[in-house]
Structure 1
Amino acid sequence: MHTARLTIRRVQPDDLGDLLEVNGDDTVTRFLPYPTWKSATDAQLWFERMAALQAAGATAQFVIEHRELARVIGSCLLFRHDPASGRAEIGYVLGRAHWGQGLMHEAMRGFIVHAFGTLGLRRLEADVNPLNQASVRLLERLGFRREGLLRQRWVTKGEVSDSLLFGLLRDEAQP
């Protein structure tokens, strides 16, 4: 998938160095359900988990490559894919050096077009910590609707947190 500045493609082993820079930042991973990566071993173990999940058909892991910089600056994924229901959840992360430039909005618009078009999904969902206001704003700008609040749903990194649920239907997606 290509956007004006980005290429969104399947993750490859050569991407792990750039992804370690993204996922090795505690500020970036604050709201993510996995610990901040500390080493290349963490990156390799993550890659192996993603490969197994992709082989099972429930997950599709992509990277966000900035074409001008010729490097990976983030990632996005579809997971909990339910083909019979035409639905999947989305997740995403972007390196802190690239925040505030509209890059994740650009990436996710392309990703949503791919999910609804090429993959034929009918519904996308997102599950977000309400304290992650940047992610909440992104989803709302993309046309996702708040569908509920689940109180004290997750314990992540030793902290109990609520969860905002968002949904987007194919016929609601922005062109």
Structure 2
Amino acid sequence: MIPRPAQAAPARIVLDGHYARLEPLDRRHAADLFAVANMPGGAERFRWLFSEAPESQAAAEAWIDQVNAGQDRYVAVIDQASGKAVGQQAWMRIRLEHGSIEIGGVYWGLPMARSRLATEALFLFARHAFDDLGYRRFEWKCNNANEPSKAAATRFGFRFEGIFRQDMIVKGQGRDTAWFSMLDTEWPALRAEFERWLSPDNFNAAGQQKTKLSARA
């Protein structure tokens, strides 16, 4: 089969799930994101990001203006139950001609970390990239020292590809970058497992999973 480019870059649209909703990042999300980032332990989750935790709502608004002026396309992760923004993530390295796209800039605040909201936020990106836009490759990258991020990539079914040594200087520190990907040929099986795990039937009244996600590329 002749490989084809992707159909389009992600547009500024809303993606809805059972538990999470992804909205184009806007100043209206600043208050919620500032509050989440400044919860006890919230600022520590910025350790591996390019930015620091905002020190005020105005700083959060300025950061939103800055990233929206760039090439990456950020979204806010909304908790469907509360209607509040609890995290953010972005489409990055959008290469239409190669059919390749990356999820990055991920800040999943403590209210959604290691939860079905986080899993669904990832799933909504992957489904939109593969099923709606025709991408061939979906990437995840992180600092090689960021063990939780590497574990999350593996749990979600990304395949480890290798390490780019001395890839970047971030916050004054050298960074080796670990690369992960999933491909369109792997997606149907992964999608089925995500859909099974995210089904409301897989959770009890307290929101605890009955079975684990077994996404393996």
Instruction: Give your verdict on TM over 0.5.
Output: yes
C-alpha deviation, 1:12, in angstroms: 2.0
% identity of equivalent residues: 26
Separation in 1, partners of 2:97, 2:179: 21
- Distance in 1, Cα, partners of 2:96 & 2:44: 34
Which residue in the other structure is 1:76 paired with?
Answer: 89
Give TM-score, length-normalised by structure 1. Answer: 0.88
- Supply the AA of the counterpart residue of 2:64: F
Aligned partner of 2:141 in structure 1 is: 127
Q: Please give the residue correspondences for 1:26-175 in structure 2 after superposition, counting only pairs within 5 Å.
A: 26-53=43-70, 58-91=71-104, 92-173=106-187, 174-175=190-191
Could you list the runs of 5+ residues in structure 2 that have no partner in the other structure? 1-14, 192-217
Per-residue deviation, 1:23:
4.1
Q: Which amino acid aligns with 1:46?
A: W
> Which residue of structure 1 lines up, in the alignment, with residue 204 of structure 2?
none
CA distance in 2, matches of 1:89, 1:122: 11
How big is the shift at 1:3? 1.9
Residue 34 of structure 2 corresponds to residue 20 of structure 1: yes
Q: Structure 1 pair 159/108, CA: closer, same or farther in 2 (3 Å)?
A: same
What is the identity, as a one-letter code, of the residue corresponding to 1:110?
L
Which residue of 1 is the match for residue 200 of structure 2? none
Cα deviations by residue, 1:42-96 (Å, 9 ceiling, x for unpaired): 212222222222xxxx422111100111101111111121111111121121112
Q: Equivalents in 2 of 1:154, 1:21: separation in Å? A: 30
Amino acid aligned to 1:95? G
Structure (1/2) with the larger strand percentage:
1
Deviations 1:94-116 (A, max 9, x none): 11233232321121012110111
Larger radius of gyration: 2
Q: Letter of the 2:53 partner, please give it.
A: T
CA contact (8 A) 1:151 1:163 kept: yes
Shift of the alpha carbon at 1:151? 2.1
Task: Give per-residue Cα distances to partners, 1:125-174, cap 9 Å, x unaligned.
Answer: 12211222222122112221111112232222222222101111122121
Distance 1:142 1:100 in 2: 12
- Give the SS at the match of 1:96: coil
8 Å CA contact 2:87–2:112 kept in 1: the answer is no
Report if the CA contact (8 A) 1:22-1:28 is conserved.
Answer: no
| Unaligned stretches of 5+ residues in structure 1 | none
1:156 and 1:27 map into 2 onto residues whose CA distance is 16
Structure 1 runs of 4+ off > 4 angstroms? none
